Amino acid sequence: MFTIQINNTKKIQCDHPVEIMRLIQDDVLKNRIYAVTFNGQLMHLDESLEEDGQLEYILDDSTTGSMIYERTLSFVFSVACALAFGGSQVEIKHTFASGLYCEIQKKIPLRDEDCDLIVCQMQEIINSRQRILRTEMPLEEAVALFEKEGLQEKADLLRYRHAKKVSVYQLCGLADYYYGVMLPNASYLKQFSLKKYGKGLWLSKESTFIDQPKLFEAYEEFEQWGKKIRVSTVSDINHIIEQGKYKELAMMCEAMQEKKLVELAEKIVHAKDTKRIVLISGPSSAGKTTFSKRLCIHLRILGVEPVQMSLDDFYVNRVQTPRLSDGSYDFENVETLDLKLLNETMTALLNNEEVELPRYDFQLGERVWEGNKVQLKENQILVVEGIHALNPRLSSQIPESAKFRVYINALTHLNLDKQNRITTSDYRLIRRIVRDYQFRGYSATQTISQWPHVVEGENKYIYPYQEEADYVFNTSLAYEMPILKTIAVPVLSVIKKGEKEYLRANRLVKMLAYFLDGDVDVVLKNSILAEFVGNSIFE
């Protein structure tokens, strides 16, 4: 006899193993429960329990629930394409417009009517409530299965998995491997959209499509570059490490980034007669600090002397900082900045007036004035860096014709395999965990606990303006995850089952486990990566 306590409210006595789905009696929540945690461990609904423990529901509106829905939707889409086009494989390339950008590997180009055909096939799978069968099989057996199916890339990925068994999913007789929990059947997918875009398709659980052509172009540029250098998946990176060519890869990535910096600097200089202020924005851990300093070096090379200004120095005093509903400070809010002072300062500089720039003392929680006076002279431009730099309110008093907007983000093209992607959000979170631990004295628990507030702020105050940029710059480096892994995994592994941050931490640890270790010594001192792992020349 064993006892299961559900959501800390209901207790159930069991005398034999019981499937989790049979424990869910709440008709209101039944279709909203996508998985559960049992004693802190994430579990599928089709798994069975046979010991005492605490069970908590994972609902559809949670971060984990949203990922489960997207993963299941991707599987149904992939199977529908295979059925519609005689076994054609799908490549889920990257995040795009609140959804996914996907391409189908078929001999003839995608036609408009193909989209309708896929939608009909997906809807048939959903309406017929096709079950998604999960089989735990020995690792070697799974590898052999995917090799037999011609999915060598997936077989190669699993070889790096540190587990005796893996979960293989089947839908409509087609087997695949997905990293993470899946819904038990296709009927859970109540909403999805599919739209032809470029050479591929936009797949989303959202009904509204908002185009992001500049962001898409940046993603595609690095997708294509990744194919040229044969680095698109984790297995590709691991093969390079095994072959002793990791340092060469690092140098190629840094050279590519330097090339893009040169390109950007030349565009700014070409426009400097009218655009005298460069506004640089990007989400947390995009690498804004190092990027801005390197860009300024390239501007100097071209004969233009920049005057640098950080938005961090224009925070309002701590007592004036907006607060969240729980009473904590809302540091992601644009109102954390003294917008009036910012506009006055930038206007004065553009009018060639001398101004004094403040410095924000984060220990005091106040701006301090130390006589740092600057003046924007002829052949100089103002470079302003900060998460809110593209927000119109930040420069509302500055003529539009004077602004050159730059948006940066770590837009990784690297995925686990063609169906399992690494999200940009996870990529940046790993960067932030490493930096916070090494240089800010924060534990992984603290960083992860703050992350939802960070993402919420980005959705409100940064992402709505990214398409306003004159230039989108990708700060991701294909070689960085094996290095970040060596620092992040020990820090994340401290978080134990039962802690609310455990689910995310455990997922990141398991994802990083696919990478072989990288050598931190290959990181150049002026690299954006050095901002996170240390030894930066800009410190």
Q: Minimum mean pLDDT among 6-10, 118-122, 256-260, 446-450: which range?
A: 6-10
Percent of the chain with pLDDT over 90: 85
How far apart are the C-alpha atoms of 314 and 475, rounded to whole Å? 25
Contact residues for 431 (Cβ-Cβ < 8 A; gap 6+): 285, 287, 410, 484, 532
Question: Is residue 393's pLDDT more than 80?
Answer: yes
Characterize the bridge pairing of strands 471-474 and 403-409: parallel
pLDDT at 228: 93
Q: Which two tokens stand for residue 223?
A: 């997708």
How far apart are the C-alpha atoms of 172 and 87, rounded to whole Å? 12
How far apart are the C-alpha atoms of 315 and 329, rounded to whole Å? 12
pLDDT at 279: 97
Percent of the chain with pLDDT over 70: 100
pLDDT at 444: 97
* CB-count burial class (<10 Å; 0-12, 13-18, 19+) for 174: middle
Q: pLDDT tens digits for 200-251?
A: 999 999 999 999 999 999 999 999 999 999 999 999 999 999 999 999 999 9
How far apart are the C-alpha atoms of 269 and 404, rounded to whole Å? 10
Half-sphere exposure at residue 321, Cβ-oriented, CA atoms within 13 angstroms: 18
pLDDT at 91: 93
The whole-number average pLDDT for the span 121-136 is: 96
Closest CA to 484 of 473, 494, 492, 475: 492
The whole-number average pLDDT for the span 178-189 is: 94
Handedness of CA 455, 461, 466, 432 (dihedral sign): negative
The whole-number average pLDDT for the span 388-399 is: 95
Distances (CA, A) of 121 to 71, 74, 255, 290, 472: 18, 13, 45, 48, 37
The whole-number average pLDDT for the span 401-424 is: 93
Q: pLDDT tens digits for 84-121?
A: 998 888 999 999 999 999 999 877 788 889 999 999 99
- Ordered domains of the chain (ranges, CATH): 2-59 (3.10.20.30), 70-210 (3.30.980.10), 214-533 (3.40.50.300)
The overall average pLDDT reported for the chain is: 93
Identify the three-state secondary structure at position 301: helix
Closest CA to 292 of 276, 307, 303: 307
pLDDT at 162: 80
Characterize the bridge pairing of strands 366-375 and 354-361: antiparallel
pLDDT at 498: 86
φ, ψ of residue 46 in degrees (nearest 5): -90, 5
Half-sphere exposure at residue 226, Cβ-oriented, CA atoms within 13 angstroms: 23
Distances (CA, A) of 123 to 74, 77, 191, 277, 384: 13, 10, 10, 51, 49
The whole-number average pLDDT for the span 451-479 is: 95
Question: Is residue 27's pLDDT more than 90?
Answer: no
Q: pLDDT tens digits for 426-436?
A: 999 999 999 99
Which helix (DSSP H) or strand (DSSP E) does residue 258 occupy? helix 246-270
DSSP string, 345-400: HHHHHHTT-EEEEEEEETTTTEEEEEEEEEE--TTEEEEEESTTTT-GGGGTTS-G
pLDDT tier at 273, thresholds 50, 70, 90? confident
pLDDT tier at 29, thresholds 50, 70, 90? confident
Q: Which two tokens stand for residue 215?
A: 């962001």
* CB-count burial class (<10 Å; 0-12, 13-18, 19+) for 377: exposed
φ, ψ of residue 346 in degrees (nearest 5): -65, -40
Q: pLDDT tens digits for 46-80?
A: 999 999 999 999 999 999 999 999 999 999 999 99
Q: pLDDT tens digits for 317-355?
A: 998 999 988 888 888 899 999 999 999 999 999 999 999
Q: Which two tokens stand for residue 151?
A: 């999915």
| CB distance 49 to 38 below 8 Å | yes
pLDDT at 387: 92
Identify the three-state secondary structure at position 185: strand
| CB distance 265 to 280 below 8 Å | no
- Side chain identity at 473, as an amino acid letter? F
| CB distance 251 to 121 below 8 Å | no
Question: Is residue 272's pLDDT more than 90?
Answer: no
Closest CA to 504 of 94, 162, 63, 181: 63
Helix 424-439 and helix 444-461, axial crossing angle in degrees, nearest 10: 130
How far apart are the C-alpha atoms of 356 and 301, rounded to whole Å? 27
| CB distance 36 to 55 below 8 Å | yes
The whole-number average pLDDT for the span 405-423 is: 93
Q: Which two tokens stand for residue 253?
A: 């990535």
